[in-house]
């Protein structure tokens, strides 16, 4: 017993040591011990929590190499070091690059502290010098960009002005005019910042939506988009820019006319739709789908866009459903679930991706009527799994129901095949059917939903439990666990007759 306890204690110690090394940013023990020796800490591996806390404090406040410990800076929020002094002293410390994200500075200088990581690199000191000049020029013109925590305008929602200034500094070689000649006629920070951009970079007019790239929170995406901005501002064509996206002559013309509230990729898609003859309304609708951000499989999706243009009378609310259906059928997207299987009485989760139903799907010869019919059928099938589904189970061999009564009302009974579907069914009907997920996954029960459609107005009316092995309807309840009405019971009777079921007292 003692040997087992020692073994478990050693395992706990090793796990604790590995976690500590990850926080400090070290990959091996030798590098950690060397760092401890250089900073006055013991090289021993068995240390108290107090000693490890001191090491973590050192890693968070040691400059200028604090960026070597990114995990510690992100993972530990309880260690802070307050920076005090006059405004000039605090500004000097912020711009020195010796402060980590865990240093606390006044609200006035927090945006500057956030912006400095964008200047990190071998040219850091050179960039900081230009950054100082920019801040000084702004203060001379009574425009203190670094004091603004965030811009309140919706179209420029993203990062701070200070981070935008950092990107201006990184593109110092692309300035076309000297900073000293910059003049502003507005104290509004947004318009003042845009006037600075126009003064330093713009020789020829640039589409308005491209100005958003100065406020992009993702630094890598910002660099990619700003290269295109500078390219166009110098008077070059979008076709000669290093975009990696297709752009014909006609699309290049419409690219400059894209709405102001679109991203760069959405502008390319908008221009593509317009160049093929689509209306601005259709272009905006297509941008609302994932096609506004994704450019894979261009031949197929170009044929889809061409199909939409050839059917101008199609209601725009069907576009999203059609695109999702085509993506699912051709590429299998949307068929990824975690399922539960039972092994020796215990449950186990594993991932499964179903293959694409129609990998050779083409838009040739497809009419709007048949395509919408297929989309509606697919949506009905997907609703059986439900939203936010974590796991699914296989459908039973019990036959569903489609039934029209004498009054023209269409009744349907379908099986629910995912825990997400049970959750939403229970929330909609105000009962506890969501607790049957494990029974369904084990094959003990199946849950069915009865709905009625009166002149295009569908509504859920009953939730039904069936034992699949005995083929017996165990219970049927409506909203708030009410009993079925006579009409609903008649539909239920039609179902168990057609599906070869029996009915217990419900």
- pLDDT at residue 349 greater than cutoff 80: no
**In 3-state terms, what secondary structure has residue 410?**
strand
Determine the Cα–Cα distance for residues 146 and 140; give it in Å rounded to an integer: 13
| Tokens linked to 203 | 């020789």
Do 377 and 414 have their domain in common?
no
Q: Which of 395, 396, 365 is nearest to 500 (CA)?
A: 396
Whether residues 116 and 188 share a domain: the answer is yes
**pLDDT at residue 130, as a whole number:** 92
Going by C-alpha positions, the residue among 329, 365, 246 that lies closest to residue 295 is 246
pLDDT at 174 (0 to 100): 92
Task: Give the model's pLDDT for residue 381.
Answer: 78
Give residue 440's domain range.
Answer: 388-506
Q: Give the separation between CA 247 and CA 232, rounded to whole angstroms.
A: 14
Mean pLDDT over 454-471 rounds to 88
pLDDT digits 0-9 by tens, 479-500: 999 999 999 999 998 998 888 8
Residues 180, 108, single domain; the answer is: yes
Q: Which residue has the higher pLDDT, 178 or 157?
A: 178
pLDDT at position 157 over 60: no
Same domain assignment for residues 102 and 122:
yes
**Statement to judge: residues 392 and 488 lie in one domain:** yes
DSSP 39: T
- Average pLDDT estimate for 466-477: 90
Dump the DSSP string for 160-210: -HHHHHHHHHHTGGG--S-GGG---S---HHHHHHHHHHHHH-SS---GGG
Q: What is the pLDDT of residues 352-389, one digit of tens each?
A: 666 788 888 999 989 999 999 999 888 877 777 776 67
Q: Of 383, 414, 435, which residue is a domain's last?
A: 383
pLDDT of residue 338: 62
Which residue among 354, 383, 412 closes a domain?
383
- 8-state DSSP, 443: T
Tokens (6 digits) for 352: 């499964």
Average pLDDT over residues 111-139: 85
Residue 254 domain-assigned? no
The answer to whether residue 272 scores a pLDDT higher than 80 is yes
Decide if 252 is inside a domain.
no
Structure tokens at 71: 């995990």
Instruction: Answer yes or no: is pLDDT of 232 > 70.
Output: yes
Counting Cα atoms < 13 Å in the Cβ hemisphere of 93 gives 21
Rounded Cα gap, residues 106 and 83, in angstroms: 8
Say if residues 21 and 55 touch (Cβ distance below 8 Å). no
Mean pLDDT over the full length of the chain: 81
pLDDT value for 155: 45
Query: 66-110 pLDDT, tens per residue?
Result: 444 444 444 444 455 677 777 778 888 888 877 765 677 777 788
Q: Are 40 and 51 in contact (CB under 8 A)?
A: no
Confidence check: pLDDT of 311 > 70: yes
Residues 111 and 192 grouped into a single domain: yes
**Across 38-52, 190-204, 444-458, least confident range:** 38-52
Q: Are both 10 and 57 inside the same structural domain?
A: yes
Does 359 lie in the same domain as 280? yes
**Measured between alpha carbons, how far is 76 from 56 in angstroms, rounded to an integer?**
9
Place of tokens 């006035």: 108
Determine, yes or no, domain membership for 267: no
Domain total of the chain? 4
Report yes or no on 411 lying in a domain.
yes
Query: What was the pLDDT predicted at 18?
Result: 80
Same domain, 424 and 501: yes
Place of tokens 């500078």: 230
Tell me if 54 is assigned to some domain.
Answer: yes
Given a contact cutoff of 8 angstroms between Cβ atoms, the answer to whether 201 and 229 are in contact is yes
| CA distance linking residue 455 with residue 111, whole number of Å | 58
| Positive/negative CA dihedral, 346, 347, 349, 355 | positive
Confidence of residue 65 (pLDDT cuts 50, 70, 90): very low
Residues 418 and 284 in one domain: no
Strand-pair partners of 403? 411
Q: Which two tokens stand for residue 20?
A: 């500590």
Q: Cα dist. 402→74, 286, 384, 477 in Å?
A: 56, 34, 15, 19
CA angle, 310 then 311 then 314, to 5°: 160
70 and 101 fall within a common domain: no
As to burial, measured by CB atoms within 10 angstroms (0-12 exposed, 13-18 middle, 19+ buried), residue 3 is exposed
Q: Is residue 263 part of a domain?
A: no
Which of these three, 54, 79, 104, is where a domain ends?
Answer: 79
Q: What is d(CA 214, CA 229) in angstroms, rounded to the nearest whole number?
A: 9
How many of the other CB atoms lie within 10 Å of CB of 185? 7
Q: Are residues 410 and 449 in the same domain?
A: yes
44 conformational bin, left if phi > 0, alpha if psi -120 to 50, beta if neither: beta
């Amino acid at each position: 017993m003692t040997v087992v306890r020692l073994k478990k204690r050693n395992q706990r110690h090793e796990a604790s040591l590995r976690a500590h090394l990850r926080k400090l940013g070290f990959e091996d023990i030798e590098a950690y011990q060397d760092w401890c020796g250089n900073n006055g800490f013991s090289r021993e591996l068995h240390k108290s929590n107090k000693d490890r806390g001191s090491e973590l404090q050192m890693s968070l406040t040691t400059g200028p190499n604090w960026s070597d410990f990114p995990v510690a800076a992100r993972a530990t929020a309880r260690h802070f070091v307050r920076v005090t002094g006059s405004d000039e002293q605090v500004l000097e410390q912020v711009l020195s690059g010796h402060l980590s994200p865990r240093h606390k500075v006044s609200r006035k200088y927090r945006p500057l502290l956030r912006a400095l990581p964008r200047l990190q690199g071998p040219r850091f000191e050179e960039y900081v010098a230009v950054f100082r000049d920019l801040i000084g020029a702004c203060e001379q013109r009574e425009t203190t960009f670094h004091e603004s925590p965030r811009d309140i305008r919706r179209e420029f929602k993203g990062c701070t002005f200070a981070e935008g200034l950092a990107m201006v500094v990184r593109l110092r070689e692309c300035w076309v005019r000297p900073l000293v000649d910059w003049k502003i006629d507005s104290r509004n920070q947004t318009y003042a910042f845009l006037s600075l951009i126009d003064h330093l970079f713009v020789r020829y007019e640039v589409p308005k939506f491209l100005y958003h790239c100065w406020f992009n929170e993702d630094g890598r995406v910002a660099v990619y988009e700003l290269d295109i901005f500078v390219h166009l501002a110098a008077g070059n064509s979008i076709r000669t820019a290093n975009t990696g996206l297709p752009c014909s002559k006609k699309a290049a013309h419409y690219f400059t006319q894209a709405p102001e509230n679109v991203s760069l990729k959405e502008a390319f898609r908008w221009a593509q739709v317009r160049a093929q003859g689509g209306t601005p309304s259709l272009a905006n609708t297509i941008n609302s789908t994932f096609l506004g951000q994704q450019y894979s499989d261009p031949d197929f999706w170009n044929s889809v866009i061409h199909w939409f243009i050839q059917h101008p009378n199609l209601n725009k609310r069907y576009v999203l459903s059609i695109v999702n259906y085509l993506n699912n059928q051709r590429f299998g997207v949307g068929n990824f679930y975690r399922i539960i299987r039972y092994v020796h009485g215990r449950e186990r989760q594993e991932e499964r991706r179903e293959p694409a139903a129609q990998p050779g799907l083409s838009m040739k010869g497809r009419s709007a009527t048949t395509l919408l019919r297929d989309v509606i059928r697919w949506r009905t099938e997907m609703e059986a799994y439900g939203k936010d589904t974590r796991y699914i189970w296989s459908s039973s061999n019990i036959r569903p129901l489609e039934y029209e009564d004498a009054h023209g009302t269409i009744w349907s009974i379908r099986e629910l095949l995912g825990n997400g579907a049970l959750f939403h069914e229970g929330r909609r009907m105000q009962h506890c059917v969501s607790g049957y997920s494990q029974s369904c996954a084990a094959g003990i029960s199946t849950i069915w939903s009865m709905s009625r459609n009166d002149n295009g107005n569908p509504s859920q009316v009953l939730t039904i439990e069936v034992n699949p092995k005995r083929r017996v309807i165990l219970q049927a309840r409506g909203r708030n666990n009410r009993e079925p009405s006579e009409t609903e019971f008649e539909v239920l009777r039609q179902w168990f007759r057609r599906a070869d079921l029996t009915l217990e007292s419900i």
